[in-house]
């Protein structure tokens, strides 16, 4: 998609309607790209919210397995210019080809750092959904300030749903909220739970993945309607 030809998985809204404005969710993956549950999550959200979903493979088919040195790998995919150019191309494609007007973003781990950087860059999201965010990439890889990046995200977008796991940094749940933003801490989960793990073998995982997705649907139903 777009001038950079970034690989994407597109799920059209299941019902063709003339309701305006048309809406879409851009999904930012974790280090497993399309190999995680993210495509099934996109299918689910498109169905439940009757909106388009676009999963963007910023890593172009590569995953954590291809890069033992994750810090060096992340450094090769900075927000400026790589993510910025890919994202701009995707947004323009959805606007011009599919007449999308309202965009929400949903990220997983690394993806939430990328979303926060896009907010810092001025991208306007109707809402941001952030399960187990890896904001620490800002300081660990790029020498920035991750708590400040979270504050910027919350200042730039008035509807952010943070959903950290039990072992995510405390500053995520302790950052003051305003507007329609909210935070749900999943105390029984470890970082990365929504897109990985065996749902059939772990009842708690199944419970909390379901809770995460149901909370996402409820939050976006309200936010898209606002």
| pTM of full prediction above 0.85 | yes
Sheet holding 160-163, edge to edge: 8-11, 52-56, 22-28, 100-107, 127-131, 160-163, 182-183
Neighbours of 219 (CB within 10 A): 22
In 3D space, the residue among 119, 136, 139, 137 whose CA is nearest the CA of residue 128 turns out to be 119
Token couple for 117: 């950087």
Tens-binned pLDDT, residue by residue, of the chain (226 aa): 999 999 999 999 987 655 556 999 999 999 999 988 999 999 999 999 999 999 999 999 999 999 999 999 999 999 999 999 999 999 999 999 999 999 999 999 999 999 999 999 999 999 999 999 999 999 999 999 999 999 999 999 999 999 999 999 999 999 999 999 999 999 999 999 999 989 999 999 999 999 999 999 999 999 999 8
């Amino acid at each position: 998609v777009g001038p950079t030809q970034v690989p994407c998985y597109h799920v059209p809204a299941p019902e063709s309607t003339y309701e305006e404005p048309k809406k879409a969710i851009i999904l930012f993956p974790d280090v497993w790209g399309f190999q995680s549950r993210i495509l099934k999550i996109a299918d689910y959200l498109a169905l439940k919210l009757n909106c388009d979903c676009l999963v963007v493979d910023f890593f172009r088919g590569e995953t954590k397995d291809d890069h033992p040195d994750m810090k060096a790998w992340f450094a090769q995919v900075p927000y400026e210019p790589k993510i910025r150019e890919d994202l701009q191309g995707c947004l323009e494609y959805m606007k011009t080809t599919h007449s999308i007007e309202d965009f929400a973003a949903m990220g997983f781990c690394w993806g939430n750092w990328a979303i926060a950087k896009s907010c810092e860059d001025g991208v306007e999201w109707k809402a941001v959904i952030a399960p187990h965010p890896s904001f620490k990439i800002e300081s660990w890889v790029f020498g920035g300030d991750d708590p400040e990046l979270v504050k910027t995200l919350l200042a730039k977008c008035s509807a952010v749903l943070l959903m950290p796991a039990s072992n995510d940094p405390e500053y995520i749940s302790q950052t003051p909220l305003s507007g329609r933003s909210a935070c749900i801490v999943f105390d029984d989960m470890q970082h990365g739970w929504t897109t990985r793990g065996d749902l059939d073998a772990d009842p708690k995982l199944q419970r909390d993945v379901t809770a995460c997705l149901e909370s996402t649907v409820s939050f976006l139903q309200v936010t898209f309607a606002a």
